[in-house]
A and B are shown apart, each in its own frame.
Chain A
Amino acid sequence: MKKSTTLEVIASLLIFFFAYTALSSYYNMASLRNLLAFYTAHTTQVAWLMVATEVALALLLLFRKTRLVGLVASLCLLLYAGSFWFEYRSYPHDFGGVFNELSYKQQLTLLSILLLLSVTGIVLHLLKAKPNTNAKAVTVSY
């Protein structure tokens, strides 16, 4: 499979994940606020911030010009989420979307897969953007 096609597939999978999580969280906002009561007193603000972040990530990944930023941002968010999972192991982690249906171990597996996709996406994007050093210099004289 070509690098660009692989990158397209990775970006699309991440877009699907973030868009689905954002929409699911938006539709079930009250449930998300009930969950966030474990973590913060500012449940409404944090809930909206989560939805806005997920939408922003999906949009960044959608356009080719901002895709690298989107991939790095997803990596950062997923790393943060991963550390959160370990730090608050005994709290519920129903942060919307697919996560609401998975057990703790399955959630960690999904996070690992998404992390791997983000890292692969970043590497492929950088390889794709790397200029071809073997190309011969062309001199144009007028």
Chain B
Amino acid sequence: MKRNLLALAAIVMAVIFSSFTIKPLQTVYFVYDGSGNQADLANYQSPAPTSYPGTVAGSSTLAWFRGDVADPGDIQLAEFDASFDAIDNQMGGTIAGTLDDETEDGIVLEKQ
């Protein structure tokens, strides 16, 4: 027992730290269909389609962005808007209503 003290301490630390990561909302990914207004929920698919084609490096059109919602089966417009506005003009972009001008992050948004 004493010999495993450090390893046991690692587990205790993991339990303590992970208790702070419990999120009240679910993370979802809004996959843009490639056309239409980017600020409109109707132009996105969520959950992601498994036939998602992927992105092309160096291109500039929005592929997906990450958001938080209470129920992914019933995404509210306000939840979508909050997720969209949290990125729009916050990552180097200056044009409102589009994420094409934002800096690609990979964890928050990706382009295709």
**Chain A interface (Cβ < 8 Å from any Cβ of B):** 8-9, 11-13, 15-16, 19-20, 23-24, 27-28, 30-31, 34-35, 37-41, 58, 61-64, 88-94, 97, 100-104, 107
Partner of A8, one of B6, B21, B26: B6
Partner of A13, one of B10, B46, B107: B10
Q: Which residues on B sit within 8 Å (CB–CB) of A40?
A: 50
Q: Is the CB of A20 within 8 A of B17?
A: yes
User: Is B27 interfacial (CB-CB < 8 Å)?
Assistant: yes
Mark B68-112 against chain A: 1 for CB-CB distance below 8 A, else 0: 000010000000000000000000000000000000011100101
B2 smallest CB distance to A (angstroms): 12
Decide: A23 near B15, CB < 8 A? Known: A11-B7, A31-B26, A38-B50. yes
Given A11-B7, A12-B7, output 14 extra A-B contacts at Cβ < 8 Å: A16-B11, A19-B14, A20-B17, A23-B15, A28-B26, A31-B23, A37-B29, A38-B29, A39-B50, A90-B55, A90-B112, A103-B107, A104-B107, A107-B107
User: Is B41 interfacial (CB-CB < 8 Å)?
Assistant: no
Q: Is the CB of A92 within 8 A of B29?
A: yes
Interface residue count on the B side (C-beta < 8 Å)? 39
Q: Is the CB of A88 within 8 A of B26?
A: no
A89 smallest CB distance to B (angstroms): 7
Q: Is the CB of B29 within 8 A of A30?
A: no
From B17, which residue of chain A is reached at the shortest CB distance? Answer: A20
A96 smallest CB distance to B (angstroms): 9
Q: Is the CB of B72 within 8 A of A30?
A: yes
Q: Is the CB of B10 within 8 A of A19?
A: yes
Q: Which residues on A sit within 8 Å (CB–CB) of B13?
A: 16, 20
Q: Which residues on B sit within 8 Å (CB–CB) of A23?
A: 14-15, 18, 21
Q: Which residues on A sit within 8 Å (CB–CB) of B17?
A: 20
Q: Which residues on B sit within 8 Å (CB–CB) of A30?
A: 26, 72
Partner of B11, one of A15, A89, A92, A100: A15
Partner of A31, one of B11, B27, B50: B27
What CA separation (Å) do A102 and B105 show in the bound complex? Answer: 10
Q: Is the CB of B107 within 8 A of A12?
A: no
25 examples of A-B residue contacts, CB within 8 angstroms? A11-B7, A15-B10, A16-B14, A20-B17, A27-B18, A28-B26, A28-B27, A30-B26, A30-B72, A34-B26, A34-B28, A34-B29, A37-B29, A38-B50, A39-B50, A40-B50, A64-B3, A64-B4, A88-B54, A90-B63, A91-B52, A91-B110, A92-B106, A94-B27, A103-B107
